[in-house]
Structure 1
Amino acid sequence: MKYVIDSLSKCSPRSGHFQKNDSILHLPMLLQYTKCAIVPYLSKEVFNYVTTDAQGYSICLDTTINMVDALSAYRKGIASFSGIGSDGISFLTIKNPTVVNKTADHGDTKDTMSIYARSGRKIISANQYMDLVSSHHPDVFHSLCDGETNATSSKRRIMKSMDRSKAFLEICLQRYRQSESLKSGSLFVAAIEGGYNLRHREEYIKEILVHNSDIHGYFLDGLHSNGFTATSLTIDNIKEIVKKCNELLPADKFKVMFGPYNPVVMLQLIQLGVDVFDSSYCYIATKNRCALTFSFDMESSSNGRDFDMDLKDPKYKEDFSAVLSGCNCLTCQKHTRAYIHHLINTKELLASILLMIHNSHHFIEFFKTIRQSIASGNFQELIDFVKAQFDRRCLLDENIQKIVELDEVTKKGKKTVSSDELSLS
């Protein structure tokens, strides 16, 4: 397992690739978000209908920690155990980007971290974490870290996050250096903490750069609390932090950001030099019964196309067209908007399966276009093209919200008049 950064820029779109066996996965790269090391709603056989190309997979520890006994006995790693295969790249991360962080009571110790699995809270030390890494044997993993900070975190909380994460990093690196199997088969990524404080971020980076020779990439963490709220982040919220981190970090190491960022923010982060993302936005869209339909083909007009499509809406009840005209995914080729609307209303699991097929396919094609636009030098045009569609969606949402609020005020006014008239009579 190795990686190459082709363009050694710090705060601009970059190209490169990961290589595992005979497979090459190009940067910027999309990791397929998984639960229990499986793409949600899609078996390996069904996912083959989405794509047969080698993929990267984000493995969330909170969904696989209960597998540790089986993985230890199996001894071939999480990729083989889950059916990802020898060509796919597995990236182990401790937090599930689709679940809002739970504020844990870490007690008096700075040596442990809480992981919330389905079976309940599990408290692990850095050494226990490295034992879990060894049993999972991922292709890439990041250091244990306390990234439970966001824009509203206090200075005290940020300092605690930094102190604990630095202590975890020291232990994780020591264990990594001592493990021949991990050193030969896994890439080590260091988490970068510091909340929204530029000075703290700078101090943190300067302290961990002494270990740069053993670090292959950097994970920019602690900027949001995961879950649906992360989809509303704008580049204005995080631009200065990301830019500062990338200016200070080595250009020859890949940069990772996890979370359900919307497509426009992803493009803007790539413009700042971020290389690897996950597809949790697709899962959240699927959970909300939405199909992603924004255009990234700059040679065609996007006028009249919705950025995304809420198939719960009754207007699709008798709409027998494909979810997205021109899309060659299984969902769009074989099924209609009306059929998926029906499945949603009857609470059939097939609705989620068909939406996840389409949304995953759409994002995979989106990232192919991103890489092509970087190579051809028109990446800024792609950002402007997609952002224009997103802005129209946001404006439409604002107008709808105003209409709803006005309608509610009108109804309340009518109710008040009726009540007064009743009392006078």
Structure 2
Amino acid sequence: MPPTERREGSLDGGVAQTQVHSEQESTNMKFAIKAWCKSGRARVGLLQLKSSSSLGQGGPPAKEIEIETPALLLTTRKGLPAFISPDHLSFLPSPDSRLLQFSPMHFMEGPNSKTITNIGGVHRLLGLQGYGFVAVPRDSILFLPESYSSNKNGASFETPCGRFLVKPLEYMKMITSMKPDLWVSLADEVPASVTAKRNKTSVDRTITWLDDCISLKPRDGALFGSIVGGCSVEERQRCAQEVAKRNVSGYYIDGFGLGDSIDERSTFLHAVTDSLPKEKPRQVCGLGLPEEVLQGIAAGIDLFDSTYIYHLTLEGFALIFPLNGKCKHDVSDPQLCATAGDYTKINLKATVYRKDASRIVEGCKCYTCQNHTKAYINHLLNVHEMLAQILLEIHNTHHYLSFFRLIREAIAEGKFEEFKQKLIESRREHLLAATLSAFELVTPVR
């Protein structure tokens, strides 16, 4: 089917029938590049979203959201960060924190598509009309792709409630009912260990499912085409070139964080971005660590997820890595290295913080650092009080959003490569010091 055509398709379950018309890029999303790195692909952009979720529903008028890129999308559970309630979202930097990423699979055990349609979509369901929602098939925590159970009919996902096979038609019912501002086409993701034949099949299926999603596309919401290809440069290039031929608003680079090597990742990222038009935004899944984020930005990626923050918060860790490359923690303290952190993060469950009346990061402007001490959060963690995770997620999100802000400033000032090298070298030195100190604690004196 030519990418500029749409066929009529009926989405039952309370979802309105689509009409045949020429495919046009969504008018609800605009993207413009504001600055480029002097040498390389890193860029600063402006993503503008105008939510139409309230139109025709008797709600407030649509609001325009402007997000500078490279940007962090907040990973959510059913539309909200795991530990931050709607009334606490105002504690996060705005507008940087106004892009929320969710998986439609989160709602498979909740309200059905007809109910969400009647409510008016995910914005009205959650009462967050002033936020942008990005729908992606894969949730890197709860809904993991199961490549060996996927088939030509749909993608399989392992979930806490069992295994689900999601077909393009079923997926599009969910998208149409939820009315996200941006949404990603269904993909057949495979781990790095699959055979070349299975990897090629995943690309073929992903392209076919993209055409199915385009044919059933709702009028609202911008479509990002999924790009897969595993650990094959040729297959990733082929997939990117095929997706680039379709009329999509942006690109979603899938398949990272599934056993691939960080050393090879830069080659795959550059192979994909070289095959994509420069004027459209690119999002990636599976890059979370600071080094990985910088690696993605250097390849020309604009949007990242924040699963990394969730894992840190759940385990009681707080981000402390220096945003300016200067460490404020004493690398000569072996106790800190071995029991409480690695100079990227500190474990606030550790006994060393039981009487520590200092802030997580001195000078941090987040609500947590302005109002609470390490000792208090240590106490909350050790008595299993959920407020600990609330305070930690506020700090960790604020810290990482500040990291992205400094990256944008470095690109705009033509200093991105210097910023990247300084941070990576600083973290390498700190991690090495932590490793050596921990080794000294467990090695007998000779």
Once the two structures are TM-superposed, the CA of residue 62 in structure 1 deviates from its matched residue by 2.8
Structure 1 residues 329 and 135: CA distance shift in structure 2, 3 A: same
Once the two structures are TM-superposed, the CA of residue 328 in structure 1 deviates from its matched residue by 1.6
Q: 2:230 & 2:308 partners in 1: Cα distance?
A: 22
Once the two structures are TM-superposed, the CA of residue 83 in structure 1 deviates from its matched residue by 2.8
Counterpart of 1:294 in structure 2: which amino acid? F
Q: Which residue of 1 aligns with 2:146?
A: 103
TM-score, normalising length: structure 2: 0.81
Residue 18, structure 1, aligned to residue 53, structure 2:
no
Once the two structures are TM-superposed, the CA of residue 303 in structure 1 deviates from its matched residue by 5.0
Residue 221, structure 1, aligned to residue 277, structure 2:
no
Structure 1: segments with no counterpart, 5+ residues = 177-181, 411-425
Q: Which residue of 2 aligns with 1:276?
A: 303
Tell me if structure 1 keeps the 8 A contact 2:182–2:221.
yes
Once the two structures are TM-superposed, the CA of residue 169 in structure 1 deviates from its matched residue by 1.1
Counterpart of 2:267 in structure 1: which amino acid? E
Structure 1 residues 251 and 155: CA distance shift in structure 2, 3 A: same
Mean Cα displacement is larger for which, 396-405 or 378-387?
A: 396-405
Q: Which residue of 1 aligns with 2:116?
A: 72
Once the two structures are TM-superposed, the CA of residue 139 in structure 1 deviates from its matched residue by 0.5
Alignment of 1:18-417 (within 5 A): 18-19=47-48, 20=50, 21-53=63-95, 55-69=98-112, 71-85=115-129, 87-99=130-142, 101=144, 103=146, 105-106=148-149, 109-150=151-192, 152-176=193-217, 182-183=218-219, 185-211=220-246, 214-225=247-258, 234=262, 236-297=263-324, 301-302=326-327, 304=329, 306-400=343-437, 402-403=439-440, 406=443
Counterpart of 2:47 in structure 1: which amino acid? F
Q: 2:315 & 2:201 partners in 1: Cα distance?
A: 35
TM-score, normalising length: structure 1: 0.85
Structure 2: segments with no counterpart, 5+ residues = 1-27, 51-62, 331-342
Name the one with the larger helix percent: 1
Once the two structures are TM-superposed, the CA of residue 341 in structure 1 deviates from its matched residue by 1.3
Q: 2:156 & 2:305 partners in 1: Cα distance?
A: 22
Counterpart of 1:154 in structure 2: which amino acid? T
Once the two structures are TM-superposed, the CA of residue 17 in structure 1 deviates from its matched residue by 1.4
Once the two structures are TM-superposed, the CA of residue 401 in structure 1 deviates from its matched residue by 5.3
Mean Cα displacement is larger for which, 15-24 or 326-335?
A: 15-24
Counterpart of 1:81 in structure 2: which amino acid? L
Post-superposition CA distance 1:261-314 (Å, at most 9, x none): 20122022111100000111111111121100112236xx43536321111221
Tell me if structure 1 keeps the 8 A contact 2:30–2:47.
yes
Q: 2:305 & 2:176 partners in 1: Cα distance?
A: 23
Structure 1 residues 401 and 106: CA distance shift in structure 2, 3 A: same
User: Percent sequence identity over matched residues?
Assistant: 25
Structure 1 residues 117 and 61: CA distance shift in structure 2, 3 A: farther
What SS does the corresponding residue of 1:67 show, helix, strand or coil? coil
Q: 1:390 & 1:153 partners in 2: Cα distance?
A: 33
Counterpart of 1:219 in structure 2: which amino acid? Y
What SS does the corresponding residue of 2:377 show, helix, strand or coil? helix
Q: 1:389 & 1:288 partners in 2: Cα distance?
A: 24
Mean Cα displacement is larger for which, 5-14 or 317-326?
A: 5-14
Mean Cα displacement is larger for which, 116-125 or 162-171?
A: 116-125
Q: 2:36 & 2:429 partners in 1: Cα distance?
A: 32
